[in-house]
Structure 1
Amino acid sequence: MTTPCGASLSLPAPRPPRSPLRRAVASAPMRVSFAGGGSDLPGVARHGGGRVVGAAIDLRVRAVVEPFDRGWVRMESAARAARAAGHPAEDAGAGAARVLTRRRGDPPRDDVAFRLIEAALSVVGVGDGVAIRIETEMAPGAGLGGSASAAVAALFALRASVGEVAAPEELGREAVAIERERLSNACGAQDQVFAAFGGLLDLSFDARGCSAVRPLPVGSPDLVSALSSGLLLVDTEVRRVSGEVLDRMDAGAAIDARGELVAAAADVARGFEVGSLPLVLSGMRRGAAAKVRLSGPASALALALGQRLDGLGVEVLRVCGAGGGGHVLVWAPAERHARILDALGACVVRRQALGAPGVRAEPG
């Protein structure tokens, strides 16, 4: 089934502030893209379209909305300390909660930790007697789409708190518009779609954003488990703003790379369809090479990591997201992981399942 997502990205006019009727909790997944990332940027996709193939992962951002004192708005952003699966190191991105309380009607605070929350409150029109908390297992800038997950989870929970329901495509569009219009952040549109829909997806893009969402057909029931078992997400411990990385990217180089990025995504999609892990990995390598050609500086940490792991049987190595920090995707057969982990030393390494469900209500 293909879901069209091509409506305008413009946000609705601000609503009069209203109060939540009930407590609501939601969570949305982060993502990894296998190939095509970068072709979803609006300035690139308008030159023939973009395509991204990837998966939501079982690393989630949680939003909690509940009634608060009338006349006040309370916002909280918290990164929970968490151990990375399969590795003894602690998550270096975790930190203490940040809290801000302001009066209803005060102008939104231009604090980077709360700008996204302020924008979600404004879009849904919940702005009086409300407390909202965003919980994540890592600080923003990890290259796994965490900001988009936070936006989608917040929009879902805020709507649920006033008895509203929104379709995944609407939540994805609003989350993209928040980043582009309210936060002035140069970004693609894949992260928000993965957060809203979840699963294994084949996405198409035009200049406005995501134009079609297709669940990936999987030709072999063993393919996803084989791909997941070999996947390692290596944390560089460098956090960055993706929009700033993309602003430094050469626009002409990005347009030139579009065809190769889209072709790599097509290879991966074909590999899933016929149930061929070698074809999926070949497409991932093709996409990784295109991203290096697109921006060497943004891939510098991944290239350095590749030198460190040279000779250990790594078959795919690529930056996650815009690069410039965050996580590096490494794929190797599971039997080679012990040597790879030894070479990585104290690095935080995550092993996440693929195909996590999209945004959903959670028990309170």
Structure 2
Amino acid sequence: MSTRDAAVDGARTAVHLVVARAPLRVSLAGGGTDLPSYADRFASAVVSLAMDRYVSVTTFPRSFGGGVRACWEDVEQVEHAEQLRNRFARAALLHTGTLRSIQLASCADAPSSSGLGGSGAFAVALLHQERPEPGELAERAGAIEMHDLGRQVGKHDHYMAAFGGLRVLRCGKDGSVRPQPLAIGGALEGYVRDRLLLFFTGLSRDAGQVLTAQDRNTYYGDSDTLRALRSIHSLVPEMLNAVTTGRVDSIGLLLDAHWQAKCRLSQGVSNNRVEALYKVGREADADGGKLLGAGGGFLLLSSAPGRTQEIRAAMAEQHAQELPFGPDATGSQVVGLPV
């Protein structure tokens, strides 16, 4: 092989088609207390479960034509990454310095802004193209959303997308996050797969916008907001006990207590559609549940033993589509192929 041929071959094999995926998540207790306005003052914790439902990002070099070509719900073709309309992709590409000569495509198991941590999972999957360690990956993804985009969110979604599994995220007053893994025993895994149900309300809202009011009220010490957040925070030890000891029959009651406290945070948390669906679910023998995320599009319902089919039928009558799921144990994953 000539020197020129070796150089060309080396240049070609250094370029990769890269596919990364990051899991969506279901928060069980403590959600919302990870915002810095609360965690930096009181410390906090969130019990969360990564699902085997994902956001994927594929990147491919663009050798002809230059610029950036991106496929989401629509297709964007621009000369420079800073011109992308998708603000999460724009911020992530600017962060990595990948500004031109790239093609991207993203797919997801759930609609955007639906309360399952999709924007955090998207940022993690896109940044995972560079293969950082999970802790660095979560911190970088969180920084993009919180600092570069100025969104009033915490690091919950980014850590769950990067690490996966069942975890308690302990958020310190110094901004640190310790993602402590929890074992998923047989009783809990069976409960998640057989009795924990997800239904799409048909509504999608931007979590950052909904959390702005909570963040402002927390920062200025609004007593009602702080009382509700303390109530949510106080449920974490009970949820930890339930998931680690297999006391799954108490999970629904804890989810309901979380939901009642969450509704006191802001008028924007719930609406007539959500309240009607929750009532239908409870009347069909759900023993608890809550809307996921701050803006929320998915309603999580815990079924009483043997009552899942009745709940599914009742929700189907309300045109609330189910998203079946189980636990994810791997967190964000990435593969690359030379091209």
Normalising by structure 1, report the TM-score. 0.80
Tell me the secondary structure at the aligned position of residue 119 of structure 1.
helix
Counterpart of 1:145, as a letter, is: G
Q: State which of 311, 329, 340 in structure 1 corresponds to 2:283.
A: 311
1:90-109 equivalences in 2 (<5 Å): 97-103=73-79, 106=80, 108-109=82-83
**1:122 positional shift:** 1.6
Q: State which of 225, 243, 263 in structure 2 corresponds to 1:254.
A: 225
Tell me the secondary structure at the aligned position of residue 186 of structure 2.
coil
**1:207 positional shift:** 5.0
Tell me the secondary structure at the aligned position of residue 322 of structure 1.
coil
Q: State which of 233, 236, 239 in structure 2 corresponds to 1:268.
A: 239
Match of 2:171 in 1: 205
**1:56 positional shift:** 0.5
Paired with 2:112 and 2:200, the residues of 1 have a C-alpha distance of 13
Paired with 1:222 and 1:75, the residues of 2 have a C-alpha distance of 46
Paired with 1:129 and 1:73, the residues of 2 have a C-alpha distance of 5
Q: 1:338 to 1:282 in 2, by over 3 A?
A: closer
Paired with 1:70 and 1:263, the residues of 2 have a C-alpha distance of 56
**1:282 positional shift:** 3.6
**1:34 positional shift:** 0.5
Q: Does 1:130 align with 2:102?
A: yes
Deviations 1:231-277 (A, max 9, x none): 11111111111111112334323332232212211111111222211
Q: Does 1:352 align with 2:317?
A: no
| Conserved? CA contact 2:68–2:100, under 8 Å | no
**1:363 positional shift:** 6.9
Match of 1:84 in 2: none
1:80-159 equivalences in 2 (<5 Å): 97-103=73-79, 106=80, 108-109=82-83, 111=85, 114-157=86-129, 159=130
Q: State which of 138, 148, 153 in structure 2 corresponds to 1:182.
A: 148
- Work out the number of aligned pairs and report it: 315
**1:307 positional shift:** 2.2
Paired with 1:280 and 1:309, the residues of 2 have a C-alpha distance of 16
| Conserved? CA contact 1:38–1:254, under 8 Å | no
**1:227 positional shift:** 3.1
Q: 1:175 to 1:207 in 2, by over 3 A?
A: farther
Counterpart of 1:237, as a letter, is: G
CA RMSD of aligned residues (A): 2.1
Q: 1:77 to 1:320 in 2, by over 3 A?
A: farther
Q: Does 1:239 align with 2:204?
A: yes
Paired with 2:322 and 2:293, the residues of 1 have a C-alpha distance of 17
Counterpart of 1:34, as a letter, is: L
**1:208 positional shift:** 5.5
Match of 1:36 in 2: 30
Match of 1:3 in 2: none
| Conserved? CA contact 2:82–2:99, under 8 Å | no
1:2-41 equivalences in 2 (<5 Å): 21-41=15-35
Paired with 1:169 and 1:283, the residues of 2 have a C-alpha distance of 29
| Conserved? CA contact 2:210–2:268, under 8 Å | no
| Conserved? CA contact 1:265–1:283, under 8 Å | no
Structure 2 unaligned spans of 5+:
1-13
- After alignment, is 253-262 or 34-43 more displaced? 253-262
**1:110 positional shift:** 5.9
| Conserved? CA contact 1:134–1:154, under 8 Å | no
| Conserved? CA contact 2:28–2:47, under 8 Å | yes
Match of 1:171 in 2: 137
1:286-325 equivalences in 2 (<5 Å): 286-300=257-271, 301-323=273-295, 325=296
Counterpart of 1:302, as a letter, is: V
Q: State which of 193, 201, 206 in structure 1 corresponds to 2:159.
A: 193
**1:302 positional shift:** 3.1
Tell me the secondary structure at the aligned position of residue 72 of structure 1.
coil
Match of 2:255 in 1: 284
Match of 1:226 in 2: 191
- After alignment, is 29-38 or 284-293 more displaced? 284-293
Counterpart of 1:30, as a letter, is: L
Paired with 1:333 and 1:363, the residues of 2 have a C-alpha distance of 44
**1:335 positional shift:** 2.4
**1:315 positional shift:** 0.8
| Conserved? CA contact 1:185–1:243, under 8 Å | yes
| Conserved? CA contact 1:43–1:207, under 8 Å | no
- After alignment, is 47-56 or 67-76 more displaced? 67-76
Counterpart of 1:246, as a letter, is: L
